[in-house]
Structure formats: C-alpha cells, structure tokens
C-alpha cells in the first residue's frame, strides 16, 4: 500500500471522527468520535514512520504505546460516563455541565 493510500485512510478516519464529535450530543458518541480522530492521527504517523525508516521498530513501539494509552483513556471515560448515568440518569453533554472544575 502506498503512502498516499494510508494518508487518505487516515484523513477519512479523522473526518468521520470530527463529524461524529461535532454532531453528537451523547457523551459516548462524542468519545467515539474523538477516538476515531486519534486513530486517524496514529494511522498517519505509522504510515510516515514506515516510509521513512521501515527497518527500525521505533514506529511500531510508539503506535503500540499510543493504542494502549487510547484503550486506557476510553476505559476511564466509559467508567465516568457509566457512573454519571447511574447517579443522575444523564447521557448527553448539555445535562452534564456541572462536571466543570
């Protein structure tokens, strides 16, 4: 696969995530949109790393660390959303305004 195909896939992921993050009011759908945007960035970074130095494993390690951090972030986010829903029966961003610091 060429670099252009990877970058096109990454930009499509980012665009779908941006649309999802801007158009949804559900907290879970907003988090999924943000996750798609980060996945697009990770795909673009991995593609650049593969085409710049394909023999070095540095890029693969960074991608694995980024995916692990994203999984932890989503688990914590879903835990907060689940706790918020159980405590106040709130699942949209407008009703969760009191979470500000």
Q: Is 85's pLDDT higher than 80?
A: yes
Q: Is 58's pLDDT higher than 90?
A: no
Residues 6+ apart with CB under 8 A from 27: 81, 84, 91, 92, 93, 96
Tally the domains of the chain: 1
Q: Is 23's pLDDT higher than 70?
A: yes
Q: What is the pLDDT of residues 8-17, one digit of tens each?
A: 999 999 999 9
Identify the helix (H) or strand (E) that includes residue 82: helix 58-88
- Domain at 69, CATH number: 1.10.287.3510
- Quick check: is 97 in a domain? no
Enclosing domain of residue 80: 3-90
Please tell me the predicted confidence (pLDDT) of residue 4: 92
Please tell me the predicted confidence (pLDDT) of residue 15: 97
């Amino acid at each position: 696969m060429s670099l252009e195909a990877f970058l096109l896939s990454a930009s499509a992921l980012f665009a779908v995530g941006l649309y999802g993050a801007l158009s949804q009011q559900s907290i879970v759908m907003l988090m999924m949109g943000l996750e798609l945007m980060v996945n697009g960035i990770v795909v673009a970074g991995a593609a650049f790393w593969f085409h710049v130095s394909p023999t070095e494993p540095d890029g693969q390690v960074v991608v694995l660390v980024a995916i692990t951090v994203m999984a932890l972030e989503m688990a914590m986010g879903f835990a907060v959303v689940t706790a918020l829903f159980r405590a106040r029966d709130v699942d949209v961003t407008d009703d969760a305004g009191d979470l500000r610091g």
